[in-house]
Amino acid sequence: MSSSDQDLDRLDECLSALPQENLPMTLSEFDGYVTGILACPDLIPPSEWLPHVWGEIGDACFPDLTTAEATIAVVMAHYNSVASEVTKTPWIEPIYEVDPSSDETLWEPWVDGFTRAMRLRPEAWQVVLEQADDETKSSLIFLMSLQELNEGISRFTEEEIDEIDIQAPDLIPICVAAILLVSRPELVMEVDNISRAPIQSKRPGRNDPCPCGSGRKFKQCCGKN
């Protein structure tokens, strides 16, 4: 993600300053939400998706105009940052939360945000699901399965859930890349030159050859964020 740490800290502060009783999005959830909006084959205007960022009532309840303008500015800046990165490579870098007590990577808020974005255009996503190849279908189904797991309605066994929980942070970017190449190919540069790994594979290591075929290491090419 190209946003600087300072920009992300400011965005986190603005989201945290919203009335918490309205359950506004967290930084990780918003990052997934924005990614889901950009991955949608239909254009979703900010006037439609912004209210969901503020919380359940759709009203940010800003105390004054200055706060409103500042908050909307940093929110849109992150949206534009993610959009800019997607035009360079489908290999996004999700912003995950980390449990401070265990250092465990928490992928659940990000997936919750992504699937909330999908719910804004269920018909469009259904068309993608019906027309996509097996890899893209598997990627969409996997992300939706993660949300079911997050909501506690998954039918996986405890052993399967433990394994998925470990692999999810690495598999999510692979799934999103597969989806973007089908749902928004016009956003992705050099689509035909990008190798699409199956979702069972892990994201390339930093010193592995870049899947785009450039001949450079992943960390020096598409993984350079």
Q: Select the more confidently predicted residue: 216 or 203.
A: 216
Q: What are phi and psi of 217, to 5 degrees?
A: -70, 150
Q: Residues 173-212: pLDDT tens digits?
A: 999 999 999 999 887 654 444 444 433 444 455 455 655 5
Of residues 132, 109, 122, 116, the one with CA closest to residue 184: 132
Of residues 130, 149, 124, the one with CA closest to residue 36: 124
Collapsing DSSP states into helix, strand and coil, what is residue 197? coil
Query: Residue 132: pLDDT above 60?
Result: yes
Of residues 159, 200, 196, 204, the one with CA closest to residue 179: 196
| Prediction pTM value | 0.82
Of residues 183, 210, 179, 215, the one with CA closest to residue 195: 210
Of residues 76, 68, 85, the one with CA closest to residue 222: 85
Q: What are phi and psi of 78, to 5 degrees?
A: -70, -40
